[in-house]
Amino acid sequence: MLRLLSIRWIPVRNMSIFTQCLNPLTGIATWEEKDQDYDYHQEVARSAFADMLHDHERVEEANVLDIGTGTGLLSMMAAKCGADSITACEAFSPMAMCAITIIKENGFADKIKLIHKRSTEMTVGKNGDMPKRANILVTEVFDTELIGEGALSTFRHAHETLLEKNSIVIPNSGTMWAQVVESKSVCAWNRIESISDIETQRILIDAPLCIKSCSGAAAVHDIQLSRLPHNEFKPLLPPQPMFRFDWSGNTPLQYDDRVCLDVSPINNGTAHAIFLWWDLNMDTEKKVLLSCAPVWEHPEIKNLPHNNVNFNELADVIPWRDHWMQTIYYLPSEVQISVNNNVSLVGYHDEYSFWFDIKNGPILKIPNYDRPICNCCTHIAYSRTRIGQLNDKERNNKYIKALSKKVKPNSVCLCFSDGCFLGLAAAQLGAKKVYMLETNFLSQKTIEMFIKTNNLGDKVEIISKDKLPPVNMVDLIFGEPYFISSIVPWENLRFWYLVSQYSSRVQKIPIAATIKAVAVEFKDLHKIRAPLGVCEGFDLSSFDKLVQESSDKSDSPVDAQPLWEYPAQALTLPFTIKTFDLSTNVHDQKRIQISDDVPILQSGSCNGVALWVDWQLDSEINVSCGPTQKIVPGKRILWDRFTRQGVHIFRNIKNVSCTDILSWSFVFVPQHGTVEFQFKINTRKQNKNG
């Protein structure tokens, strides 16, 4: 599986292009010939319009001006309702062409005029894009952060240039809600904490002060908050309407604004983070509300009595959205909150983003507080998932336990992993010398800070690929394994390629890796790939064809997803695809091609296969990036929260029963580092007949 690094346009006879690709297993960059429209297909396949249109609650009737029309759905709804004239604009070229086709196929070509521009580039008047200003606007230019796609500038320009005064605007207004919480679980995604030996309670690795005090990454942390266990956070303040946006034009929209709310706490605790979500009032009477609130604050749920409420089950009831999730914002520092003292919750926003602060007591004047940025490099070097992984105490303890068995006072160790603190742990456990391979500059800077903070400069040395220690010097090679370039779990088999430079007699951790899988029924995740067909009575099959063709040319059949956010029940028992002996030399391995069948044990809609890797550290200790509890067919699977699993989503979803089987095949070519999976549902009778 190759990973695109960049595109270089190189003319060849058949008008192809070459793309530079990184093989995440071998670490080697190669050139791969692609169709001349590869980048076009990749952009279309990843545009993620489909899952938004599966969300029927967000579709509202409108006419006249449709900004960001996408498939043209809202414009066609307006035409069906009898709009006198409809102008739709779409800047994304593939979607604009697709919309023209869909509008024609549905019989509205003479009623809808499509402008292939951004709305902010449109003109009004003679020879303009519209002969006169519109009096009704419908648009969806919102993202998880509400204003991150430029909603403020879009609406301001529309009111200034494209709309009559007092026009009908759908949606009419929006509100950004904030809730301050205490949560150690949430903190795990933001700051790297000290690492201790659980058995001795001794701190092995202390985190640098600059990391502990860093305000974190400015990038929004989008997440399906409804799937966060309700017992893992404590609300300290009731949800607050931080910012209200009047899309109707009656109140001017500000690109930069700040607000301070005086709030009475509802619980004592430490303020760690702020949960954020938004809602839209679709009409002026506020009778139609579209809410992105998490389950415990969703309008359809929050009025229910909360005693003994199973929010995980209730989360299955509210509308599912992957295009509009909730977000977590991390406070610049922890703040102690008491129910006896009011607090000042301060919010800021610029044209595209929000940030927050909280103070005890009243504030007479809202202070200037610039948007926080990472000044420690760590939040730029590592993803939030990776930071959470580094804070996983149970996982760390397994590695420390395995290292403790192998590290001796005279041990010379070599660590093959990116941003791995095991090298420092090995030094603290008594190793004579630890060499750490770091290929990422920002990750290297982070490790250097940890080395300095823990006074390990004489025992730990960061090296480059061309300065690996001689074979006869190394006693132990270890890794998590983890590499920044890896996306799906098995791409961390790059560890195998690196250790193969050394003799098989050198001790290694881990000693084996097993790719495992299970057939599942996703409750919602499959919708990101599911065809639309007919939506709201309109044929959108041309859109399905466009996305499918582009996906075939640009997407891997297996994607990476944080499956703990996406409920799924098991339809089979977990099964092993392949176990690799990491003590052998990967270059001595021949091409592997295997296949097998797995019986379906639970009736359901088989819409996907989940894949993960188990790493065997030694004969007793195993680290999994998959399920955290035993998989039982018919039951919901609980997944590791700090890794992403591999997901194969079936295009043709089938209802299955115990008379069916999942047929699979696996191909691994060690010389090229290519990995391929194929999955298919068959009946057992068909399988026996071949």
Residues annotated as catalytic are 140, 149
User: Tokens at residue 423, please?
Assistant: 């090298």
Which one, of 94, 89, 87, 1, lies nearest residue 47 by Cα? 94
The DSSP secondary structure of 422-485, one letter per residue, reads HHHHHHHTT-SEEEEE---HHHHHHHHHHHHHTT-TTTEEEE-GGGPPPGGG-SEEE-----TT
The DSSP secondary structure of 66-134, one letter per residue, reads EES-TTSHHHHHHHHTT-S-EEEE--SHHHHHHHHHHHHHTT-TTTEEEE-S-GGG--BSTTSSBSS-E
Beta strands 604-616 and 622-624, pairing class: antiparallel
Cβ burial 619-644 (10 Å sphere, 16+ → b, else e): eebebbbbbeeebebeebbebbbbbb
Report the residue count for the chain. 690
Distance between first and last Cα of the chain: 30
DSSP strands (E only) in 146-256:
163-170, 173-182, 195-197, 202-205, 221-223, 234-235, 240-246
Does a cis peptide bond (omega within 30 degrees of 0) precede residue 510?
yes
DSSP strands (E only) in 540-581:
558-561, 568-570, 575-581
For residue 451, how many other CB atoms are within 10 A of its CB? Answer: 23
For residue 207, how many other CB atoms are within 10 A of its CB? Answer: 22
State which H helix or E strand residue 406 sits in.
helix 393-406
Which one, of 435, 401, 408, 563, lies nearest residue 488 by Cα? 563
Which one, of 396, 392, 393, 428, lies nearest residue 411 by Cα? 428
Which one, of 236, 269, 261, lies nearest residue 336 by Cα? 269
Beta bridge partners of 124: 130
In angstroms, the CA 94 to CA 44 distance is 7
Which one, of 15, 18, 567, lies nearest residue 5 by Cα? 18
Q: Which of helix, strand or coil describes residue 363?
A: coil
User: Tokens at residue 137, please?
Assistant: 């606007």
In angstroms, the CA 671 to CA 332 distance is 48
Residue 349 and residue 174 in contact, taking contact as beta carbons nearer than 8 Å: no
